[in-house]
Structure 1
Amino acid sequence: MICDHPGGLPVVNAKTPAVLVLSGAVSRDQVPGLCDDLRALLAAAGVRVVVCDVGGLGASGLGAVDLLARLELTARRAGGRIRLRDPAPALLALLDVVGLRFQVEGQAEEGEPPLGVEEAVETGDPAL
């Protein structure tokens, strides 16, 4: 597992999400370091959500599920959350099977309509 970002923490503003890039094979030995990176991003960037780019994880298995669960737990303990970017359909299916739910970049949050959907008012509908 490689965390692809240059030395130091990136500069993040309100329009740029903090991103943790995950790629390569998942190794249990690398999980604590990635959790430390996540905590550092949450603290330095002053954000509540860190985007985890999981597109490069390759063949996802239970190791990836374990990593994401630990990252989410780390983020929650620090007062934040993680959001997945570019997850493979197989990874999403595996997360669903084990009962883990994550926000995915581009999906509407729970209780919100999907992006680009607006409610229409029919003529003759009573005003509320």
Structure 2
Amino acid sequence: MSSGRPAGLPHVDAEIPAVLVLPGPVRRDEVPGLCAEVRALLEGGTAGVVVCDVGGIGPPGLAAVDLLARLELAARRAGGRIRLRGAGPALHALLDLVGLRFQVEGQAEEREPALGVEEAVESGDPAV
């Protein structure tokens, strides 16, 4: 008895995150629906990450901060997290100001050196 291989590359397919494009300024009554969508994307996928494209969210303000915090909370409750795509410097600054940390596409993760950065070695350091 033999069984056929599943379509696609299982290891690669498991690491492709779902993408949620946030439309222009989001109204308060749209937030619960977006949170439900994040939960559904995490339950349907295997990556454990939903990429939130915030490029069209409009000028950053407290409404954007509230939305992102709620989306992250919904993702955490579903066993995943969100990653931001298209976040401008103003949104980064505002998130830093309020103390929220998000993983952002194109940035090195904490404890991971950026590409092309080499550590300096002091002449008196012992070889490891």
**TM-score when scaled to structure 1?**
0.80
Corresponding residue of 2:4: none
Find the structure with the greater CA-based Rg: 2
- Whether contact under 8 Å (2:14, 2:46) holds in the other structure is no
Aligned-residue sequence identity (percent) comes to 74
Choose 60-69 or 115-124, whichever is displaced more.
115-124
Give the match for residue 28 of structure 1. Answer: 28
Match of 1:83 in 2: 83
Count of aligned residue pairs for this structure pair: 117
The 5-angstrom pairing of residues 51-90 of structure 1 reads 51-90=51-90
Structure 2 unaligned segments of length 5 or more: list them.
1-11
User: 1:1-128 counterparts in 2 under 5 A?
Assistant: 13-119=13-119, 126-128=126-128
Please list the CA deviations of residues 6-36 of structure 1 after superposition, one character each: whole Å capped at 9, or x if unmatched: xxxxxx9235321111121121100000001
Q: CA RMSD in A?
A: 2.1
Report SS of the residue matched to 2:83.
strand
Aligned partners of 1:49, 1:43: CA distance in 2, in Å? 10
Do the aligned residues in 1 keep the contact of 2:84 with 2:105 (CA within 8 Å)?
yes
Tell me the CA shift for residue 49 of structure 1: 1.2
Q: CA deviation at 1:58?
A: 1.3
Q: TM-score, normalised by structure 2?
A: 0.80
Give ranges in structure 1 of 5+ residues lacking alignment.
1-11
Q: 1:49 to 1:115 in 2, by over 3 A?
A: farther
Greater share of strand: 1
